[in-house]
Each structure stands twice: as structure tokens, then as C-alpha cells.
Amino acid sequence: MSGVRVTPWQDDSFPSPPAQLLAAMQGRRPNGELIGIDRVLLRSFPLATGWNELLGRVRADFSLELEYRELIMLRVAVLNRADFEWNVHHPAYLQAGGTEDKCLALKKPDAADGIFDAKERALIALTDQSTRQVEVDPELIEELKESFGETKTVEAVATVAAYNMVSRFLVALAI
């Protein structure tokens, strides 16, 4: 984590985070090991608390299939040049059912080529429009609702929004 623009929290830092917060953050990580973004978030306990709750829900509780959520996360990482985000979500996408060929395609400026099915292309279009221009074409929202239903459409939009927040935080602080 050399080059990070703020000093990451360390286990011996003062003040210590609330035990419940630290346990919740460690509970979301493999082997309970905090990663770089966690240690920077712990510079603000209120931020770390809300962030952990929101992103925990996006990662674990949404009904939108994990493979689709991870696809969105990877595309956001590419668009916002958030290498840390890519490195965290690349193995998760593969584990959720994505392929290495799709990962390579996501890195292209126009990722929606023939390797993706119609649902994936719609999610990529959503991610691209929301990330690049904020506004999303109403026709695309209708297409998503037809393919996924309203709940999963809302969750797809929220995943794009949440991971744009993540990538902007990561890039701004050089995590």
C-alpha cells in the first residue's frame, strides 16, 4: 500500500475502532484479513460503519445473481481505472461463473461484443451509461425490467452506483 495518500489504520493505531465494527469488517473478508480499502476507511469510524453495511448488502444480500453483480463491478473498475477494485473482483467473478475471455472483453472500450449474452450486454450498457454520463436511457431500463424484473433492475442500478463510489474512493486516495 505504498503510495496511498492517507495513512492507513494499523492494528496499534489510536483510537481503536469499536470492536463490533472491526469484527463486521473482518467478517466480510477471507480469513478475517482487512484489505487496503478497509484500513483507509477505518480513518473514519462512521464512514467505515456505513460503507461496510452498504457494500456488505450489495455483495451478499441482493437477489441479482452474483455473476452479474461481479460483471458490473469489473466494468466499473475498468471505466474508472480502479486497478485495486479489478484485482479484488476478478477472482470473485471467475468463481461466480464468469470467464477469462469475458474479463478480457470487459477491458475493451466497447465491451458489449458477441461473447456476452443479451442480459450481460444490457448490464454492460447500464454500467457504461451510468458511469460515463450518469443518465441512463429509459429504453435500457425497460429492457432490464423485461429481462430481470423491477427488483433486480433496481439492484443492478444500485450495484453500478455503489461500485462507482468504491472506485472513486480508491482512485482518489491511490489505494
Residue range 107-113: average pLDDT?
Answer: 85
- For 23-37, the DSSP string reads HHHHHTSGGG---HH
Structural domain harbouring 165: 66-172
The DSSP output letter for 63 is S
Phi and psi at 112, nearest 5°, equal -80, 60
Residue range 15-44: average pLDDT?
Answer: 95
Using the predicted structure, report yes or no on whether residue 22 has a pLDDT greater than 60: yes
For residues 54 and 162, is the Cβ–Cβ distance under 8 A?
yes
Cα dist. 160→3, 69, 74, 122, 131 in Å? 27, 8, 10, 13, 7
Averaged pLDDT score across all residues of the chain: 96
Is residue 161 a part of any domain in this protein? yes
- Cell 484489505 appears where? 35
Residue range 79-85: average pLDDT?
Answer: 96
The DSSP output letter for 98 is -
Is residue 11 a part of any domain in this protein? no
Q: Are residues 98 and 127 in the same domain?
A: yes
Residues 167, 169: Cα–Cα separation, whole Å:
5
Say what the pTM is. Answer: 0.94
Residues 59, 46: Cα–Cα separation, whole Å:
20
Give pLDDT, residue 97: 98
Using the predicted structure, report yes or no on whether residue 1 has a pLDDT greater than 60: no
Q: Are residues 122 and 75 in the same domain?
A: yes
Domain count, the chain: 2
Is residue 14 a part of any domain in this protein? no
The contacts of residue 56 (CB under 8 Å, 6+ apart) are 24, 28
Cell of 16: 481503536
Using the predicted structure, report yes or no on whether residue 2 has a pLDDT greater than 80: no
- Cα 39 from chain centre: 17
**pLDDT band (50, 70, 90) for residue 48:** very high
**pLDDT band (50, 70, 90) for residue 151:** very high
For residues 78 and 106, is the Cβ–Cβ distance under 8 A?
yes
Using the predicted structure, report yes or no on whether residue 14 has a pLDDT greater than 90: no
Residue range 56-78: average pLDDT?
Answer: 97
CATH number, domain with residue 133: 1.20.1290.10
Using the predicted structure, report yes or no on whether residue 8 has a pLDDT greater than 60: yes
Using the predicted structure, report yes or no on whether residue 65 has a pLDDT greater than 70: yes
Is residue 40 a part of any domain in this protein? yes
**pLDDT band (50, 70, 90) for residue 129:** very high
Q: Are residues 98 and 126 in the same domain?
A: yes
